[in-house]
Each structure stands twice: as structure tokens, then as C-alpha cells.
Structure 1
Amino acid sequence: MSAPSEPRAGRPEELVVALTKAGRTKIRYPAELVRDDGVRVTVRAPWAAPGVRDFGFVRFEPGDVFTEHYWRDRWFAVKEVRTGDGGLKGWYCDITRPAVLADGVLAVEDLDLDLWVSADGSCVLRLDEDEFEASGLAGQDPAAAGAAASALDELERLARSEGLAPLLA
């Protein structure tokens, strides 16, 4: 585990977020370190994929800014999504193994399950449960599959009760 840190004044510290899925790199992108308290790493990055991704319930597009929260002791990541002018779109939550930060790379393994929470909290959607089932994780690593399912349940419960803001404070 790396020591807690704050970016140096005047010059943001950069790192690379490396997201893997099923043993393969899904995406790598540069991000600005906002905060690392030794347990949670918070980074900020512009939308990193090419073009627009329209999910039907939200569009991610060039100009969007993601403030991403990763934990070393939790099985999820929460990404606050804002438009380029600061309007809140909502929170996209990935169910992941706990994050590892080493040598300037924040390594995160995506476990397929996701949760979307709209800006006003009125829309809470569990996503990709079919992909999770098809991944075979339950047979290969039952403990990880159980932790992933519990993490999704925990995030949904928080989103439907007090919201995600207290988790991110």
C-alpha cells in the first residue's frame, strides 16, 4: 500500500489508470491524482474512450469529466460524471477487485457488474448481471464472485437510501 499523499501545489500529479477485464487490458488512460489517503485513491480524468457512448440512460462524450474513487479495501469504484461545464450527470459504479496503486499505475480489475445512479437519485440501475453470470467467475473464484455480488448490493442500498455522497465525502 502506498503512503497517503496529496498532489503538490501548482503541479498536479499524474498517474495511469489501467482497467483490466478477464485478464486483458480494457483501457489505460492518464488521470490527475486528486487525493490518496492510503485507503481511497481519487483521480480526475476526461472521458477517455473515443467518441460517444450512449447507454440509453446516459451519454458519455468528449468533454465529460470523471472524478473516480477507488478503494484498496472495497470491491467497487464510484465515478462521478460531469459535463464539461460542470453539470452532474450521475455516478457510474464499477464492481472491481480492490485497487492497487504501484509505480504510478492504478490497477483495477473490472468484474462486469455495474450500477448507474442518476444525478437526482431517481434512477438506480443494476447493469451487466448477464455478463457477470457468463464470465464464469462464480465457478472459478466463488469468494470473489460473492464479494462482487455483495458490493453491488451495498452500493444499490446506499444509492436508494442516503445516496452516494456520504461515501465520497
Structure 2
Amino acid sequence: MSARSVEVRLVKAGRTKISYPADVVADDGVRLTVRAPWAADGVRDFGFVRFEPGDVFTEHYWRNRWYAVKEVRGGDGALKGWYCDVTRPVLVGRDAVVVEDLDLDLWVSADGTEVLRLDEEEFAASGLADRDPAAATAAREALDALEALARAGRLPGASQATGLR
């Protein structure tokens, strides 16, 4: 397959939160993997990790799973960890990838020892449980599954060199 680019669109509450170009690394019809540089302006310091210009994200999206796993490396190639978004299954078109963010996130440190559940208050305040109870249930189950996989060292899309996959 020749290299191609796609536009990744992260949608939240019906609006595009961010969009950025990414290179398709692999697509087996179920999992799409793309690579892109840090797309936001400036530095985002979460306290447990900093995303900054020069960082490279290898992003794994599934057409049949309610999450995405993003491997984050610094500009020097050093692994920072994995940022996992709870999302609806990805929609993949010829030139675009649409990802609907459902607020819940998980961070896994490079050595796998730190596993942090993020944005649970934001998820509760989003009203998704009232608007779409089935999606809210799927989102909570996806976060639980990601956490269990990360704690077992079996995070999908994680590099095998760290013991995580």
C-alpha cells in the first residue's frame, strides 16, 4: 500500500475540536494506524506528561471498539507513554477519519507503572448518560477494559519493547 495522508477530525458534542493531517501507517479493515506530529498550539502540561511541539503520536483507531490508543514519543524518539481516548468506533473515509470523543481518557506511563483514569467528572457532566444511555454504558465499559488491559501489560497498539502490546 502506498503511503497516503488523511485528515483526522476529533469531534466532541457535535463540533470539531481539532483536525490535523496524519500519515496512514496501516489499515487492516478493522484497525487503522496513523502517525502525526503534536497538532495543538504550544505545550500542554497535564502534570503527569507534557505534550509539545516535536512530539509524534502513533494513533490506533478501531472500527469495532469504543476507544483509540495513541503512543506518544518525544522529538528525541523517547517513549512518553500512551494516551487512550474513549470514543465511538472510528469512521474511516478515503481522505478523512472522524473520531467522536466521549470525554473519558486513560494515561499509561512509558514503563506501564502509572495508569490514570482521566476526565470522569467531565464525562458525568456531559449528559451522555441521559441523551444516549447505551453509548454511556459502552464508554464506561471501554474505559474499564482499557485500564484492565494496561494493568495487565496488554494495551493494544502498545509497543512490544516495553512489555505492553
Q: TM-score, normalised by structure 2?
A: 0.94
RMSD value over aligned CA atoms?
A: 0.8
Question: Pick from 102, 112, 121: which aligns with 1:111?
Answer: 102
- Contact in 2 for aligned 1:121/1:163 (Cα 8 Å): no
- Contact in 1 for aligned 2:84/2:106 (Cα 8 Å): yes
Offset, 1:84: 1.1
Offset, 1:54: 0.1
The aligned residue for residue 83 of structure 1 is: 74
Gaps of 5+ in 2: 158-164
For residues 14-58 of structure 1, give each alpha carbon's deviation from its aligned partner in whole angstroms, at most 9, with x where no partner exists: 000000001111000000000000000000000000000000000
The aligned residue for residue 136 of structure 2 is: 145
CA distance in 2, matches of 1:133, 1:22: 14
For residues 110-130 of structure 1, give each alpha carbon's deviation from its aligned partner in whole angstroms, at most 9, with x where no partner exists: 000000000001110000000
CA distance in 1, matches of 2:24, 2:117: 28
Gaps of 5+ in 1: 1-5
CA distance in 2, matches of 1:134, 1:79: 25
After superposition, residues 1-169 of structure 1 pair within 5 angstroms as 6=1, 8=2, 12-164=3-155, 167-168=156-157
CA distance in 2, matches of 1:18, 1:39: 18
Offset, 1:102: 1.1
CA distance in 2, matches of 1:99, 1:26: 15
- Contact in 2 for aligned 1:15/1:106 (Cα 8 Å): yes
Offset, 1:157: 0.3
- Contact in 1 for aligned 2:72/2:79 (Cα 8 Å): yes
What is the total number of aligned residue pairs between the two structures?
158
Code of the aligned partner of 1:52: V
Q: TM-score, normalised by structure 1?
A: 0.92
For residues 75-116 of structure 1, give each alpha carbon's deviation from its aligned partner in whole angstroms, at most 9, with x where no partner exists: 000000001121000000000000011131000000000000
CA distance in 2, matches of 1:110, 1:60: 18
CA distance in 2, matches of 1:68, 1:102: 16
Percentage of pairs with the same residue: 71
CA distance in 2, matches of 1:138, 1:24: 19
